[in-house]
Amino acid sequence: MKFKSDNERFDLIQSKLYTAVVSDALDDSGFRNQVMRHDIRPLHPDFIVIGRARTALWINEYKVRENPYENEIQLIDSLQPGDVTVHSTDLSNEIAPWGELLSTASKIRKSNGAIVDAFTRDVKKIISMNFPVFTKGIKPTDSRGRGHVQAFDVPISCGDITVRPNEIVFGDYDGIVVIPEEAEDEVISIALEKVSGENKTREGLRKGMLLAEVYKKYGVL
């Protein structure tokens, strides 16, 4: 399957697919470690995030530097439509790198959301502006003097899996999957076929067929 643009690709994923079926398609394509850790959750159950990864590598620090926000500002100001910032903090419990103002700036840049393997603050404001944020938890502390973006647009570990710049990240209430760039169209095609099989299986079950019968017929469970 080929797409004319990322907008077409993202619209199809968001309207036709969900993370569970994409995870299955990744398995079928030989990519069996592409689902982020279970505790990175959407701030609101209806949030869906889909876009190209713009990665940020955070490190702990223990004093306030002269320009504490320099690299994160560069990252946010460079966002392009459809980008999703993906943040690694090496499982730090000190860094809350995301909040309302970064969400506002990102939304204005037409970013599609943020995935934060750390803490988020200003949560009610973020929910009210309908900006999809997935996060490990909620904490009110500022990142200044606690964490710093060491580098961005580099491979990182987020949710215990490697995320590379420009890979597709897709999250809904079930979790977050990362689609390798070299396999994205193949994975999407397989996922669409599986959705079709699931629809036929569901219809067969509603008509009274046994699960074994529909599985034998359609091979989808």
The per-residue pLDDT for 200 is 82
Annotation: CATH topology of 35-179 = Glucose Oxidase; domain 1 (3.50.30)
pLDDT for 40: 97
pTM of the model: 0.92
| Per-residue pLDDT, 219 | 77
pLDDT truncated to tens, each residue of the chain (221 aa)? 678 899 999 999 999 999 999 999 999 999 999 999 999 999 999 999 999 999 999 988 889 989 989 999 999 999 999 999 999 977 778 888 899 999 999 999 999 999 999 999 999 999 999 999 999 999 999 989 899 999 999 999 999 999 999 999 999 999 999 999 999 999 999 999 999 878 888 888 888 888 888 888 777 77
Please report where in the chains the tokens 């949710």 appear, as a residue: 159
3-state SS, residue 133: strand
What does the domain layout of the chain look like in residue ranges?
A: 35-179, 188-218
pLDDT 10s digits, 40-62: 999 999 999 999 999 999 988 88
The predicted pLDDT at position 153 comes to 98
Are 168 and 84 spatial neighbours (Cβ–Cβ below 8 Å)? no
Contact 133, 43 (CB under 8 A): yes
DSSP 74: H
Report the pLDDT value the prediction gives residue 208, as an integer from 0 to 100. 86
Q: What ranges make up the beta strands (E) of the chain? A: 41-42, 49-60, 83-88, 113-120, 133-138, 147-152, 156-158, 161-163, 168-172, 175-179
Provide CB contacts within 8 A for 115, sequence distance 6+.
36, 40, 49, 84, 85, 86, 87, 133, 134, 135, 158, 159, 169, 171, 176
Residue 220: its pLDDT value, please? 75
How is the chain split among helix, strand and coil, in percent rounded to 5? 35, 25, 40
